[in-house]
Structure 1
Amino acid sequence: MKQLLVVASVIGLLACSPQGVAQNDSSSFKRQHLERMGFVIESVNDSVIDGVYEVITDQGLVYVTADGETLIGGRLYDITGSEPQNLSEASIREMRRSDIAKVSDEAILYPAENEKYMITVFTDPTCGYCRQLHTNLEQYHKLGISVRYLAWPRSGLQGSAYQQLKTVWCSEDQQAALDAAKNDKRLPAASCDDPVDEHFALGNKFGVRGTPAIVLPSGEMLPGLVPAERLLSMMQNGQ
């Protein structure tokens, strides 16, 4: 309810603001309050509201007043048309695309022979829907959809899924290890400087709340299992 009230407040502000991008001076933005709260600031850009900045942090997108003293959660919507338009989504998608590119060499890739699209999937070997997606990889591959996996243990940085994922990413044959983990087969011991914690933090930043979470080439994120045909249709339509 609190988040809805915040979003409603933001919509009200936007409805009263002039159209176009406000010109703020981000060099004067005061960071200390956000940093004191534990946010790591990655970028500060103008928002459509005069005196409010769009701030990308390690915890996702937030809006902050120019004096750095007021944080606004939620999303901005343009409500001038027949349907509300989510103005925050473009920035969020760009953030996801950029961040995924940085960790693409850490993903476990299952490529399609005639690749047309690449999706990124946050996965957990103990998740039934993740197993179902993995079992049906051939359906995605036939449609030219390559799948690359990042780790996201649903129980957090503890428990069996977390340990399995660490072992998978440290295995000499990562594909074989992930296949085994998703079929309840015992994994040979393996340890290394794995990226599981990093992937988990990235998923949290993106807004992952469960697995599988599918990130499309556009940066849009879909929660849950999505059949191959529907997924292809969405990407063909530019989502």
Structure 2
Amino acid sequence: MRIRSLVVSSLLALSATLGAAQAADPAEQIRERLTAVNDRIEVVAVKASALPGIYEVELGSGEVLYSSESGNHFILGKLFEVRDSGFVNLTEQRQKAMRAEALAALEKEDMIIFSPEGEAVATLYAFTDVDCGYCRKLHNEMAEYNARGIEIRYLAFPRAGVDSGAYDKMVSVWCAEDPQQAMTLAKQGQVPPQAECENPVAEQYQMGVAFGVTGTPALVFEDGSLMPGYVPAERLAAFLASNQ
């Protein structure tokens, strides 16, 4: 009788434990599972995905992964939906929304902005590196972009990271008395006079990483769409006109 009672008690305890596990919040389970492996993983948000039983997990790095309810298995990649009109990248839609929200929260004084004389027909955010050849080509066409009504808002992205010579130059550009002039001189290959101040260069670099920027220039539209690489002013204007 004692043995049977012990078995029954154990089964009841196990059942209660399993029931509690099943009743646990899947989002919390996934957070705990990931951070238990590496406490440096920052889980920003967890929500149900379009796939039954699979959860979308947004990381602080900007990456999106898809996890089982238990958090024991995950997929790092892009989720597509098949529609009559074609394939829809649901992961990119989510990342677009994240980028757009982050851009809308930026302060103008933290960016180096080149605006058209009249009303802007489009505003683009350009992650840039002063030592990047194609960034210099883009800057050389700044008057043409502006003439076509395109406002360019520069964000710092020193490709070699925050412990690089480009980073130091970009801090000096952002801290200059005339950041526009300093940017132009730096894009011409000149070393800007050293200057220091409270600046957003490192923060903008991290934002670029979270956005999925891997090279410069990288253009981001107000809706969060990311267009990597240099695009001549004429072609960019034509693209904008065709997508209005």
Partner of 1:39: 41
Partner of 2:123: 118
User: Residue 50 of structure 2 aligns to which amino acid in structure 1?
Assistant: V
Matched, 1:48 2:50: yes
Partner of 1:138: 143
| SS of alignment partner, residue 30 of structure 2 | coil
TM-superposed CA distance for 1:41, in Å, is 2.3
Consecutive unaligned residues of structure 2, counting only runs of 5 or more, are 1-24
Question: Is the deviation greater in 115-124 or in 98-107?
Answer: 98-107
- Partners of 1:216 and 1:235 within 8 A in 2: no
Pairing of 1:5-16 with structure 2 (within 5 A): none
TM-superposed CA distance for 1:52, in Å, is 1.6
Aligned residues: CA RMSD: 2.0
Where has structure 1 moved over 6 Å in runs of 4 or more?
none
Question: Is the deviation greater in 63-72 or in 125-134?
Answer: 63-72
Deviations 1:65-115 (A, max 9, x none): 222232211111123546322122211101111111223431111112220
How has the CA–CA distance of structure 1 residues 82 and 103 changed in structure 2, closer, same or farther, with 3 Å as cutoff? closer
Identity of aligned residues (%): 37
- Partners of 1:26 and 1:45 within 8 A in 2: no
Partner of 2:86: 83
Deviations 1:122-149 (A, max 9, x none): 0001001100100101111111110001
| SS of alignment partner, residue 106 of structure 2 | helix
TM-superposed CA distance for 1:163, in Å, is 0.8
- Partners of 1:218 and 1:238 within 8 A in 2: no
- Partners of 2:26 and 2:70 within 8 A in 1: no
Question: Is the deviation greater in 57-66 or in 210-219?
Answer: 57-66
Matched, 1:223 2:228: yes
Length, aligned pairs only: 215
Matched, 1:187 2:192: yes
Q: Whole-Å Cα distance in 1 between the matches of residues 68 and 233 of structure 2?
A: 43
Matched, 1:95 2:114: no
User: Residue 34 of structure 1 aligns to which amino acid in structure 2?
Assistant: L
Q: TM-score, normalised by structure 1?
A: 0.82
Q: Whole-Å Cα distance in 1 between the matches of residues 61 and 114 of structure 2?
A: 29
- Partners of 2:124 and 2:150 within 8 A in 1: yes
- Partners of 2:27 and 2:47 within 8 A in 1: no
TM-superposed CA distance for 1:29, in Å, is 4.7
Partner of 1:107: 111
Q: Whole-Å Cα distance in 2 between the matches of residues 188 and 200 of structure 1?
A: 21
Q: Whole-Å Cα distance in 2 between the matches of residues 112 and 35 of structure 1?
A: 47
| SS of alignment partner, residue 153 of structure 2 | strand
Consecutive unaligned residues of structure 1, counting only runs of 5 or more, are 1-24
Q: 1:147 aligns with which of 147, 152, 158?
A: 152
How has the CA–CA distance of structure 1 residues 57 and 177 changed in structure 2, closer, same or farther, with 3 Å as cutoff? same
User: Residue 34 of structure 2 aligns to which amino acid in structure 1?
Assistant: L
Q: TM-score, normalised by structure 2?
A: 0.81
Partner of 1:65: 68
TM-superposed CA distance for 1:208, in Å, is 0.8
| SS of alignment partner, residue 53 of structure 1 | strand
- Partners of 2:60 and 2:210 within 8 A in 1: yes
- Partners of 1:44 and 1:55 within 8 A in 2: yes
| SS of alignment partner, residue 51 of structure 2 | coil
